[in-house]
Structure 1
Amino acid sequence: MRYVAVYSILLVIVTVIAIPAFIVQGVSDWGRQPAAAGFPVVYRGEDITIKVYVHDIKQVVAMNLEDYVKGVVAAEMPAEFEPEALKAQAVAARTYAVKHMALFGGTGSSEYPGADVTTDHNDSQAWQNETVLRNKWGQNYAKYWGKVSQAANETRGLIITYKGEPINAVFHSTSGGKTASAQEVWGFDYPYLQSVACTWDQKSPRYQDTKEITLAELEVRLGADAGILAAAQSGGSASIAGIIDYTNSGRVNKVRIGTKTLSGLEVRQKLELRSTNFSVAPAGNTLIFKTFGYGHGVGLCQYGANGQAKESRDFRQILTHYYTGTAIKNIFGS
């Protein structure tokens, strides 16, 4: 009986102390799953902080990564777009951020030490705060912010990877029928940034544009050494310009204007064209540039994404179409 009593006492001790300790340990670790391979240990439910250089106030601001993603989606994509297109943009925006964050091994902003990213779309991704969005959306603020928030919340933690690493998830407005590869635009190759067909962006208001530029203005923009006016006087306007060759995606690679041979990118920048997918034709004392698409043309096509969403394709299908050979992973490991 004495042994029974001892065992009974021990059982009570185990019940009172050990089991509650196990329960407490179980609760504290609930949902704490290791991150995907190649990423630091990040636990579900924990806030991830990103350091953003905000140009409006010229300061580095620490903010929650998911709040940052919402501000990027709101700034970069029309809130009227389909939910699956907004989700695709949210995942691309989060991926771009993670790729540059010091926490995940990124180098951060080269121009603003201490910042992972900036709010300048020329340097990083655009981002807008509540005040700007209220002014932009007016009475639709609650509706549109709800859509953007839902897109970010329903893709929380998801990023695009290639061979287990976050990709450089660049995007643009309108492809003009076919996206460009990174190689043809920037001169370096990414296996996941290849040219792909895009037939879903034809309803974009930026799909096609025409710009007429006088020969005098051309000479100002390209320089007197281009000899544009002299060429016009000696050979007529038809001899002023001609496209030499094209890239694999059909964009202008090299073009002759006057005595200069320029890249399509140089012409786009100097003449402020919408894209390098253009034709050029003389008309009296002017040249007419007809462009297709808007932006550099690499990666996700935003209007194409919306067109795909209208055809019931989900954000995963949209993203893996534009980013060749990629997979969607969760930085929380599931």
Structure 2
Amino acid sequence: MSKKSTTKLDLVSLVKGYKDSFPFYQVLAPSGEIVHSDLEPKLSDEELSTLMKRLVWARTYDKRVTLLNRQGALGNYAPGGGQEASQIATQYALGEKDFFAGTYRDLAPLILHGLPLEKAFLWYKGHMKGNEYPEDLQAYAPQVIVGGHITHAMGVAFGMKKRNKKSIVLSLSGDGATSQGDFYEGINFAGAYQVPYVAVVQNNGYGISVPVEQQTAAETLAQKAVAAGIPGIRVDGMDPLAMYAAVSTAREHALAGKGPVVIEALTYRFGPHTMSDDPTRYRLAEELGEWEQKDPLVRMRTYLSNKGLWTEEQEKEVEESCKQEIKDAVAAIGQVDKQKVSDFLKNMYEVSPQNIQEQIAEYEAREMKENG
């Protein structure tokens, strides 16, 4: 700035008023009507029905696993009800060889990506076998550390680029992840090397109990991508068609060698953060009621019913099938051997040092004595 200039520098305008620069993309209104036909994905009737089946399956899964948690059959659970569009429609847009990296709340899309249901339940119980994945499964185990998987996902995408693979990496995270250093480091590296990576941030309004506006002064989470020199967009995270369209477009962008994309999905979790959380301490019932009017299953059900592609009988069939799958998985994990301390020690090193070998021998002797 010239020394003779009398223009005052408005610092506030440098960071405020940019929300409109990141428009809100929506295809399907809460009423079930198409509001932006130009953004509507080109899905066949069969593909639309399949997407709906997956949404219903995920909602049923969420309700049943919540019940299993209350019964003490599974460990602590992070409900995903309400976020089916940002989870399931997102995964539905991926290719078979694309890599998926999710959080502790994203087990449903991980299962639909190929994780055996039995493995998911073993993971909930903290069993080592819950992390033993089939070799052809393109996915990481659910990340519990907030934002910890962003750099890992970026690393896989970097490897894909180096090997000229025609696939991408997609990560799901919550809004809280964008307040972590891992997020910035991951997207900055991804942007610098233009890797095939799509980071979907599920902005459900709260990082556990902390509102987004208390986590960051940024007006949107999408704008955080700008600092890394990559595109950032905002999408109706309660709209399955908008999420599918956004992720499909971002995937094509990444596959074309144009680099990563950040998608902020504005969504809401109907239940608590986890089953040990009480959301009534920080959320009003009126707020929950307003978001329930935007339910992704309701709008998709209305949309498909009007097209003659969905019936109540189809929905019940999916629900009953999911319940049976869960029943079978619970029975299966009951047959898995209980974990032993000696096994934990054996898994600690590829080649155990002397002190660990001694501990293994000690615990094996104890375990043999206890088992008669």
TM-score, with structure 2 as normaliser: 0.24
* The structure with more strand, counted as a fraction of residues: 1
TM-score, with structure 1 as normaliser: 0.26
* Structure showing greater Rg: 1
* The structure with more helix, counted as a fraction of residues: 2
